[in-house]
Structure 1
Amino acid sequence: MGHLRSSKDNLLKRVKRIAGQIQAIERALDSDDDCSKTLLLVASTRGAINGLMDEIIEDHAREHVANPTLSNEERAKGVDELLEAIRRYSK
């Protein structure tokens, strides 16, 4: 994932925000907060994770599938990796 270095700081900031959102969910559950508040926390966390996934998928597709310098074998491997990640994520 060396090609992610250029956006590494932004990705790490996103992950830290997501970690904070997870902690907020934990606090809400621990303190018996209203379920509607907890649902909103979970929904916003899911949205943040989806955004992170979208960004990494796009970067992977550009670097490991659409990159014109790759061989057909390298592109096929990139597609397989991408499809496996999408399959796992959609379960």
Structure 2
Amino acid sequence: MSHTIRSKDKLVARVRRLKGQVEAVERALEAEAGCGQVLQLLASIRGALNGLNGELLEQHLHEHVLHARDEAERQAAAEELAAILKTYMR
């Protein structure tokens, strides 16, 4: 069973909190809130997204790299992770 399936409820809850945070930005903009308030909301979203990303990266490393069934699976997971990190760093 994949780590995203095992921790599905927890991950979905985090995504729903992120969704709520994005909606708060929309409401703030609609209400013509000050730029400082909007920037603070955006910083909170970035932190939450980075936390979710970090958790999934850690789970991926443990599940697919450290505890791979064989060297081929380990290599494929490492290559997948490298591609994801390249996209992330753009």
Same fold (TM over 0.5): yes
Higher RCO, 1 vs 2 (CA within 8 Å, ≥6 residues apart): 2
1:1-91 matched pairs, under 5 angstroms: 2-67=2-67, 69-91=68-90
Structure 2 Cα separation of the partners of residues 71 and 5 of structure 1: 22
Structure 2 unaligned blocks of 5 or more: none
Q: TM-score, normalised by structure 1?
A: 0.90
Structure 2 Cα separation of the partners of residues 89 and 24 of structure 1: 25
Structure 2 Cα separation of the partners of residues 10 and 25 of structure 1: 23
Structure 1 Cα separation of the partners of residues 38 and 82 of structure 2: 32
Q: TM-score, normalised by structure 2?
A: 0.91
SS at match of 1:70: coil
User: Once superposed, what is the RMSD of the aligned Cα atoms?
Assistant: 1.4
Quote the sequence identity (%).
42
Structure 1 unaligned blocks of 5 or more: none
Shift of 1:2: 2.4
Q: Which runs of 4+ in 1 moved over 3 A?
A: none
